[in-house]
């Protein structure tokens, strides 16, 4: 069960409309944070994807106007020997406290992606993780944790362009590590492990939400719109596309394996209740 969230109308955004839509969405996520604080909720937002997919910039976009003391940015470094053999305990310590939102710039799913691709974990560790991760997440949800899992997807050509741009940038060169350059050459291996991760860990109640990130601006606003639409909170103003977008027939939905394309907004809202992705 994978949710592909790719809104075609955002491809028509100009800078002014983008700014307006960004403001509307950021007001809503601030309302959500207030509700999280008030009701002592524990919200985890996972951002996974290949290097240069735009995970960090999306987190910055989500959190730009949130209360700094009530959210955390989580990006754990290289695990110690103990952490590598006690994987879930390592991540347990990073989970949100009551009244807090945590943004995970890569997560426990590193063991499903980067670690096996680069040989940083054993086959036994990988297999154990894949068997235990969903029961672990179910247990977390039973304890009140709310988990949303985003995967930012980009093409190989786009990744190469971004890698080249980082390497030549006087301001961003430090973002490109030796490890980043090595993993670029393992595109097919990464794809294999990504598909295995989707197959085994995208389940009902905890799907992977795939965001097309070839355009980072569109990816950020699309991801935030999905998040706002699918979270409950006090004083929520149900987010609808701006007037210019409602007239565009770019929506699609799959019902019982059949694709319904070129839907307008009203058609989409009716049919989406029966979507295979729910």
**In sequence order, what DSSP letters do the residues of 183-217 get, joined into one string?**
HHTTHHHHHHHHHHHHHHH-BTTB-EEEEE-SSHH
Structure tokens at 37: 């604080």
User: What value does the mean pLDDT take over residues 168-190?
Assistant: 76
What is the residue whose two structure tokens read 């989707």? 198
Question: How sure is the predictor about 263, in pLDDT bands with cuts at 50, 70 and 90?
Answer: low
* Burial class (CB within 10 angstroms; exposed 0-12, middle 13-18, buried 19+) of 171: exposed
Q: Which residue matches tokens 């949710």? A: 3
Give me the pLDDT at residue 248, please. 44
Higher pLDDT, 36 or 185: 36
| 8 A C-beta contact, residue 72 and residue 66 | no
For residue 240, what are the contacts with CB-CB under 8 A and spacing of at least 6?
Answer: 246, 265
Q: Quick one: pLDDT at residue 164?
A: 83
Which helix (H) or strand (E) covers residue 101, if one does? strand 100-105
Confidence band of 270 (pLDDT split at 50, 70, 90): confident
pLDDT for 167: 76
pLDDT tens readout for residues 93-129: 999 999 999 999 999 999 999 999 999 999 999 999 9
Query: And the tokens for 224?
Result: 């935030």
- Helices 216-230 and 55-63 meet at what angle, rounded to 10? 50
φ/ψ region of 232 (left if φ > 0, alpha if ψ in -120 to 50, else beta) reads beta
**Residue 268: predicted pLDDT:** 61
Binned at pLDDT 50, 70 and 90, residue 205 comes out as: confident
Residues 53-83: tens digit of each pLDDT? 999 999 999 999 999 999 999 999 899 999 9
- Is residue 48 very low, low, confident or very high in pLDDT (cuts 50, 70, 90)? very high
- All domains in the chain, ordered by first residue: 2-241 (3.40.50.300), 248-278 (no CATH)
Question: pTM surpassing 0.95?
Answer: no
Grouping H, G, I as helix, E, B as strand and the rest as coil, residue 50 is coil
State residue 241's pLDDT score.
Answer: 58
Q: DSSP alpha helices (H): ranges in 39-74?
A: 55-63
Residue with tokens 């430090």: 174
Please give the angle made by the CA atoms of 53, 55 and 56, to the nearest 5 degrees: 125
Q: What angle do CA 94, 97, 103 make, to 5 degrees?
A: 55
Q: What would the pLDDT profile of 128-171 be if each residue is shown by its tens digit?
A: 999 999 999 999 999 999 999 999 999 999 988 888 887 777 77
Strands 258-263, 251-255: pairing kind: antiparallel
CB 204 within 8 A of CB 1: yes
Which tens digit of pLDDT belongs to each residue from 16-45?
Answer: 778 888 999 999 999 999 999 999 999 999
Please give the Cα distance from 160 to 166 (Å, whole number). Answer: 10
Q: For residue 240, what pLDDT band results from cuts at 50, 70 and 90?
A: low
Q: 103 with 63: CB under 8 angstroms?
A: yes
pLDDT confidence of residue 278:
41
């Amino acid at each position: 069960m994978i949710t592909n969230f790719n809104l075609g109308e955002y491809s028509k955004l100009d800078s002014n409309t983008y700014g307006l839509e960004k403001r509307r969405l950021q007001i809503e996520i601030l309302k959500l944070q207030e509700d999280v604080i008030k009701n002592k909720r524990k919200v985890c937002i996972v951002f996974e994807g290949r290097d240069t997919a735009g995970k960090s910039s999306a987190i910055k976009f989500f959190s730009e106007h949130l209360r700094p003391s009530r959210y955390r940015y989580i990006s754990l470094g290289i695990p110690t020997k103990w952490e590598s053999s006690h994987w879930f305990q390592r991540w347990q310590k990073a989970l949100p406290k009551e009244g807090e939102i945590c943004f995970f710039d890569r997560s426990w799913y590193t063991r499903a992606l980067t670690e096996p691709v680069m040989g940083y974990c054993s086959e036994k560790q990988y297999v154990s993780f894949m068997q235990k991760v969903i029961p672990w997440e179910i247990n977390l949800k039973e304890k009140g944790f709310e988990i949303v899992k985003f995967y930012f997807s980009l093409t190989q050509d786009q990744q190469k362009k971004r890698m080249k741009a980082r390497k030549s940038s006087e301001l961003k060169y430090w973002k490109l590590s030796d490890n980043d350059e090595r993993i670029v050459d393992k595109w097919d291996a990464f794809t294999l492990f990504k598909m295995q991760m989707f197959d085994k860990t995208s389940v009902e109640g905890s799907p992977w939400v795939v965001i097309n990130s070839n355009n980072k601006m569109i990816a950020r606003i699309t991801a935030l719109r999905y998040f706002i639409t699918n979270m409950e909170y006090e004083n929520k103003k149900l987010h609808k596309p701006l007037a210019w977008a409602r007239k565009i027939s770019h929506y699609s939905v799959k019902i019982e394996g059949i694709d319904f394309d070129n839907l307008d907004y009203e058609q989409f809202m009716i049919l989406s209740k029966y979507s295979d992705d729910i």
